[in-house]
Structure 1
Amino acid sequence: MTLLGRLLNNRRAGETHMAWHLPNLQGPEVLDLTSEDFGHGRAMALRNCAKTIGGDDVSPHLAWTPPPSGTAQLLLVVEDVDVPLAKPAVHCLALIDPAADHLDPGALAARKPAAGVRVLRSTIGRGYHGPGPIKGHGPHRYVFQLFALSSRVDGAPGSTPADRTRPRVLLPAVTASVLTRGRLTGTFER
């Protein structure tokens, strides 16, 4: 597996196509997003990683500064920008009640999310899916992006419910104004 990682080392999705750069998700970058489990640009713990590599697949603690009044919903997007694909892989997509100011570890579980959290479909499945990069591919960056939206996300065009819509269809279809946004990057390497 290490050989495959080395062969794909120069192939990475990059930040260009991540949710942060979508025209409809632009907004002031004043939401401070932090974690007790890792610092910005720092390595994530194995417990936050995929079970396939020996982790527990427990979503990390996240906290943020209060969003502005008028926030109807928070949108959380977690993307691996170093996956060897054309676009970043969405590891988690969730809608959060705007009254929340943090998520405890495990709050993004598919089967039993925390109160006020609605987990949506990601590239991998529903709920949080921790890092599990190819061995030998080098460090991967996992970008946690939080958007404070002026109205609720209903779904994609054609009346497909939000929780059944693929991320690459749902994210560009968000029509709510972004009142503020913030991001936090964790890393992991095998």
Structure 2
Amino acid sequence: MAIIGRLLRNRRAAPEDLAWCRPNLAAGDVFEVTSTDFEHEAALDVRHAMKRVGGQDLSPALAWSGVPADTAQLLLVVEDQDAPFGGPFVHALALLDPKINELPSGALASGSTIDGVEVLRSSWGRGYLGPGPVPGHGPHRYVFQVFALTEPVTIPGGGGAPESAKPRAVLAAARAHARGRIDGFYERP
């Protein structure tokens, strides 16, 4: 399988395709996002990786501060910037009550019952799906983004409720006025 990774080594999603760079989410105000499980631009522990690669699919703990007081809703997006597809792979998507300023490890599981946390569909299923890059493809950047939205997400044109919508529909419908992020890396040799 490492041969496939080496063959795809130069095929990666473009950084400008991240949710972070979408015009409707690229707000001017930036706030801080931190984690007790990893430092910004450091390696993610294997427990946060996919089960099929030896991990636990355990979303890392996250915290943020400096969210504007007039925020209607928070949108949390976890993307693999280096996925060898046409765009970033969405590893988690969730809508959060703006009163929440932290999530414990595992809070983004598909069956999460934390008040104020609505776990949505990712690119593959519902809930957090940990890193599992192709062996030999090199390090992948996992971008944990929190967007402060000006109004709750509604899917236009009969697109359904956010909980049943595809990630691209949720990202297109959201409007942010502030944002924050923390990046981690994971690699399979």
TM-score class, shorter: over 0.9
Match of 1:49 in 2: 49
Is it true that 1:86 corresponds to 2:80 in the alignment? no
Match of 1:130 in 2: 130
- Asked whether the 8 Å contact 1:156–1:162 carries over to 2, the reply is no
**TM-score, structure 1 normalization:** 0.95
Instruction: Find 1:181's aligned residue among 156, 162, 179.
Output: 179
**Structure 1, unpaired ranges of 5+:** none
Whole-angstrom CA distance in 2 between matches of 1:103 and 1:147: 15
Whole-angstrom CA distance in 2 between matches of 1:62 and 1:28: 22
For 1:188, give the aligned amino acid. Y
- The 5 A counterparts of 1:97-116 are 97-116=97-116
Whole-angstrom CA distance in 1 between matches of 2:67 and 2:21: 20
Aligned CA distance change for structure 1 residues 130 and 159 (closer, same or farther; 3 Å): same
3-state SS of the aligned residue for 1:132? coil
For 2:187, give the aligned amino acid. E
Whole-angstrom CA distance in 1 between matches of 2:28 and 2:113: 28
For 1:51, give the aligned amino acid. K
Match of 1:36 in 2: 36
- Asked whether the 8 Å contact 1:120–1:163 carries over to 2, the reply is yes
Whole-angstrom CA distance in 2 between matches of 1:9 and 1:41: 20
CA apart distance, 1:74: 0.4
Paired residues in the alignment total 188
Whole-angstrom CA distance in 2 between matches of 1:188 and 1:101: 25
Q: Share of identical aligned residues, percent?
A: 51
3-state SS of the aligned residue for 1:5? helix
Q: Report Cα offsets for 1:49-68 as digits up to 9, x if no partner.
A: 10010000010000000411
3-state SS of the aligned residue for 1:155? coil
Whole-angstrom CA distance in 2 between matches of 1:113 and 1:16: 33
3-state SS of the aligned residue for 2:91? strand
**Structure 2, unpaired ranges of 5+:** none
